[in-house]
Amino acid sequence: MIDNLNDRYFGSGDGQKLLDVGAAGGLTSAALHDIGYQVTALEIDAVLVEQLAADPRNKGVRLVRADATAMPFSCDSFDRVVLLEVLEHIAQTEAVLAEIHRVLRPGGILCVAVPTGYTERLYGRLHPHYAENATHVRIFAKAALSRQLQNSGFVVRSVETKNFVPAVSWLFHALLRSDADHTGKLLQHSFVERVLSPVISAWSRLPLLRTTFLFLSGRVGKSWYFYCAKE
């Protein structure tokens, strides 16, 4: 997911303090640590916290098991916060955003990534157990989430559409009704990625098709990334 983060807001860390809320497997935390951030990974799931602690890639990352609605941090503790593909799993979104606003310093940047509303509705229609498998409890509209972020005290600087290729992949998995766990890890039909990979690669490189690929990549995707400032 770090590849999706805009360098304008999340370039070299230079020792800045960053909080990864809902760190799950820790790949984002480890990658952000590697580019110079002092990373704290917050996760409530005990099994995931154990996996985070056991993964050598997370050496140097501070691990904290806690609820995102009641974080054990002082006010204005962090320069950056990432909340990537987490908010859709949480009923108390207002409480989470209020806590993030509290622990983020004035002038700090928050990145919130959520599934695009149109892909969630499409996958849910095609796959009756999609939301249940993913443990998604809500679907977001872009304008509504922008308003919620503003009401929580943030200034929305930009919104970007990302993950076009995963959106295509998940379309096929929804048609096949593939099982997945709550972290988004697919548990069957791995042949989809093996088949799609060379097709997508050719599509993105062939001169006659590349323009279409780039056009769609910037407008259609599985995720929206909201970049917000606390001012």
The confidence band for 11, taking pLDDT boundaries of 50, 70 and 90, is confident
CB atoms closer than 10 angstroms to residue 217 = 16
The confidence band for 184, taking pLDDT boundaries of 50, 70 and 90, is confident
Per-residue confidence (pLDDT) for residue 88, from 0 to 100: 96
Per-residue confidence (pLDDT) for residue 120, from 0 to 100: 97
pLDDT digits (tens, 9 = 90+) for 80-117: 999 999 999 999 999 999 999 999 999 999 999 999 99
Per-residue confidence (pLDDT) for residue 85, from 0 to 100: 95
What share of the chain has pLDDT > 90, as a percent?
84
Per-residue confidence (pLDDT) for residue 183, from 0 to 100: 81
pTM: 0.94
Strongest mean pLDDT among 4-13, 56-65, 158-167: 158-167
pLDDT digits (tens, 9 = 90+) for 193-205: 999 999 999 999 9
Per-residue confidence (pLDDT) for residue 105, from 0 to 100: 98
Per-residue confidence (pLDDT) for residue 66, from 0 to 100: 95
pLDDT digits (tens, 9 = 90+) for 113-151: 999 999 999 999 999 999 999 999 999 999 999 999 999
The confidence band for 12, taking pLDDT boundaries of 50, 70 and 90, is confident
Asked if residue 56 has pLDDT above 80, the reply is yes
Per-residue confidence (pLDDT) for residue 185, from 0 to 100: 87
Task: Spell out the SS3 assignment of the chain.
Answer: CHHHCCHHHHCCCCCCEEEEECCCCCHHHHHHHHCCCEEEEEECCHHHHHHHHHCHHHCCCEEEECCCCCCCCCCCCEEEEEEECCHHHCCCHHHHHHHHHHHEEEEEEEEEEEECHHHHHHHHHHCCCHHHHHCCCCCCCHHHHHHHHHHCCEEEEEEEEECHHHHHHHHHHHHHCCCECCCCCECCCCHHHHHHHHHHHHHHHCHHHHHHHHHHHCCCCCEEEEEEEEC
Per-residue confidence (pLDDT) for residue 134, from 0 to 100: 92
Per-residue confidence (pLDDT) for residue 172, from 0 to 100: 97
Phi and psi at 167, nearest 5°, equal -65, -40
Per-residue confidence (pLDDT) for residue 104, from 0 to 100: 98
Task: Calculate the average pLDDT of the chain.
Answer: 94
- CA-nearest of 176, 167, 163 to 128 is 176
